Structure 1
C-alpha cells in the first residue's frame, strides 16, 4: 500500500490499517484521526504534522519515523517500537 491509496481509503471511511506496510511513506500533514495502525510497518515514515489523535499504534514498528509536531493526543503507543523515532517534542526516542 502507498500513501495515496491509504488517503483514499481513509477518506472513504476505512480506519483499520492493521499490519499494513507503509515503510518510508510520506504521510506528513495528513488527518489520520482514529486510525488503527496496529502491528503496521511504519519504519522511517514521515508523519510530521500528522493528526494521529486517538490513533492505535499498538505494536507498530515506528523505528526511525518522524513524528515531529504530530498530534498524538489520545494515541495508543503500547508496545510500539519507537527506537530512533523523532517525537513531537523534537527528542529522539532511545
Structure 2
C-alpha cells in the first residue's frame, strides 16, 4: 500500500519503522515521538521538521536536509547522517552515540548536552556549533573544523581563572 506524505504532515507518534522515504518532502512535518527506526530517509527534505523525541536508531539520513530541524531528545543511535545538512538544527540532549556524521554540515547547530560517544565527525563542518556539555569521548574528529569549539573552550577556561 502506498501513501502520499505532504509537507507539513502531522505524523505525531507515527510508526514508520523501516519505512522507505528516500527523497521524501517532509518540510515542517510534525514527527514528534515518531518511530523511524531503521527508516531510509536518504536525501529527504526535513527542513524545519519537528522530530522531538523521535526514534531514529539506525536510520539512514545520508544527504538529508535537516536545516533548522528540531531533534531535541531524539534517539539517533548509530544513525547515518553522512553529508547531512544540519544548519541551525536543534540536537539538544540528542543521543548520537555511534552516529556517522562524516562530512555533515553542523553550522550553528545546537548540540548542548548531546551524547556523541564514539560518533564519527570526520570532516564535519562545525563552525558556530554549540557543544556545551556534550559527550565527545571516543568521537572521531579527524579533519573536522574545530576552530570555534576550541576558541569557546579556551574562553570558558579563561573566564573560570578570573
**Common fold, TM-score beyond 0.5?**
yes
Count of residues in correspondence between the two structures: 90
- Map Cα deviations across residues 25-84 of structure 1 (whole Å, 9 max, x no partner): 000111111001110010000001000000011000000000110000010110000000
Structure whose alpha-carbon radius of gyration is higher? 2
Deviation string, structure 1 residues 2-32 (Cα, Å, up to 9, x no partner): 5629x44x23x22211000010000011111
Return 5+ residue gaps in structure 1 as ranges.
Answer: none
- Root-mean-square deviation (Å): 2.0
By relative contact order (CA 8 Å, sep 6+), the higher-ranking structure is: 1
* 2:106 alignment partner in structure 1: 67
**Residue number in structure 2 paired with 1:39:** 78
Structure 1 runs of 4+ with >3 Å offset: none
Residue in 2 that maps onto 1:93: 144
1:4 aligns with 2:26: yes
Cα distance in 1, alignment partners of residues 76 and 100 from structure 2:
10
